[in-house]
Amino acid sequence: MDKLEIKNLHVCIENEETKQRDEILKGVNLLLRTGETHAIMGPNGTGKSTLSETIMGNPKYQVTEGEILLNGHNILQDSVDQRARLGLFLAMQYPVEIKGITNAEFMRAAINARRPEKSPMSIREFLSDLDQNLALLNMPESMADRYLNEGFSGGEKKRNEILQLMMIRPKFAILDEIDSGLDIDALKVVAKGVNTMASPDFGTLMITHYQRLLNYIHPDQVHVMMDGRIVKTGDASLAEKLEAEGYAGLRDELGIQVDLVDDDQIANQGGQAS
């Protein structure tokens, strides 16, 4: 069993306009083991994406306090690619488009980056894996030969993130709003992909606004984030309660002094701190 442990994590981001450093995470604690599925929910602007990007090592986010431990090893000094090879995977909210690199070529490079240089995955094995996963995600084979995310629809990009997840087979996957922009049918397909990964050697951290995703990927634990902290942890029923009562109800119940940011303001910040 592998363990991803986040201890008292404080993270800042530099505001591009004011050049001031804003503290987004204010002491997050979390323990995720392989074999478990966790969900983090919370209103916009509470630091959910900051948490996922910080775990992956996005240089935009500065850790000012605390640690992130993978099986006891603090990964904060490790580069993004080292963290990935240690077994972390982030399905991104906004995957970038890269012209000139095919999906298949990219995924092969990612898989082989985890293997000894002398024994890359055979093309035959790679293609058979790829075909199987494409079929499971209802993606046409031609997706493999298209340039990485280039011209993909929102739904295709999300599926492509899950395709990479299935090909790379990390220890821990962080799914950052994998449900946003998906219709019900696409959501089911994406969930099916994530669910086939379920094993005692794989842990999932889902970040979402909506309880809907949890109908298809069942969490063992649900954490609610507000104002840069995890304020409540429970089982799947917590998500249902939130869906019924909204975040404001929980805020008042816990007596947290925080304004809930609405979507318009988030859009103005480019969604960076959502």
Partner 1 sequence: MTTLAQSIEMHTDWPARLLPQAPKWLAEFRADSWQQALNQQPPRFPKIDYRDWPLFDLKAIPPHIDVPGNLVRKAQAVVTLGRKTIKIDLPADLIAQGVVVCDLEEAMTTRAALFEKYFRKCFSNKAQDGLALWQAALVNSGLFIYIPKNVHLSSALKILQLQDSRQEENFINLMIIVLETGAQAEISQEVSTLGDCANAADLRTVIFADADSTLTYTVLDTLSAKTSAHIYRKSQLDQDARVQSTFVEMNQGNVVSEFYSDLLGSGSNAETKVVAITAGKQTQGINTKITNYARHSVGNIVQHGVLLDESKLVFNGIGRIIKGAHAAYSQQENRLLMLSEFVQGDANPILLIDENDVIAGHAASIGQVDRQQLYYLLSRGLTKSKAQSLLVKGFLAESLSEISDKAIADYAIFLIERSLFNG
Residues that bind partner 1 (CB under 8 A): 56-59, 79-81, 84-85, 89-90, 92, 95-96, 98-101, 105-106, 109-110, 113-114, 147, 164, 168
Burial pattern 162-192, b for ≥16 Cβ within 10 A else e, equals bbbbbbbbbbbbbbbbbbeebeeebbebbbe
- What is the nearest approach in angstroms of partner 1 to the Cβ of residue 143? 17
Cα 40 from Cα 238, distance rounded (Å): 11
Residue 269: CB minimum distance to partner 1, A:
17
How distant, in Å, are the alpha carbons of 40, 60, 111 from that of 11? 17, 10, 31
Closest to partner 1 by CB, 12 vs 168, is 168
Q: How far is the CB of 43 from partner 1 (least distance, A)?
A: 26
Q: Is 13 helix (H, G, I), strand (E, B) or coil?
A: strand
Q: Which is nearer to partner 1, 110 or 261 (CB)?
A: 110
- Distance in angstroms (rounded) separating the CA atoms of residues 269 and 169: 33
In the complex, least distance from residue 163 CB atom to partner 1, rounded to whole angstroms: 12
The H-or-E segment that residue 88 falls in is strand 88-91
Please state the closest distance from residue 242 (CB atom) to partner 1, in A: 30
State in angstroms the smallest separation of the CB of 230 from partner 1: 24
Q: Which is nearer to partner 1, 106 or 152 (CB)?
A: 106
Looking at beta carbons only, is 31 or 98 nearer to partner 1? Answer: 98
Q: Which amino acid makes up residue 44?
A: N
| Closest approach of partner 1 to the CB of residue 82, in Å | 9
Give the residue with the Cβ less far from partner 1, 71 or 265.
Answer: 71
CA distances to 9, 18, 43, 161, 238 from 207, in Å: 17, 28, 11, 14, 15
For the chain, the 3-state helix, strand and coil shares in percent, each to the nearest 5, are 40, 25, 35
Residue 42 — φ and ψ, nearest 5°? 160, 160
Which CB, 115 or 218, lies closer to partner 1?
Answer: 115
CB atoms within 10 A of CB 60: 11
| DSSP output for 30-68 | EEEETT-EEEEE--TTSSHHHHHHHHHT-TTEEEEEEEE
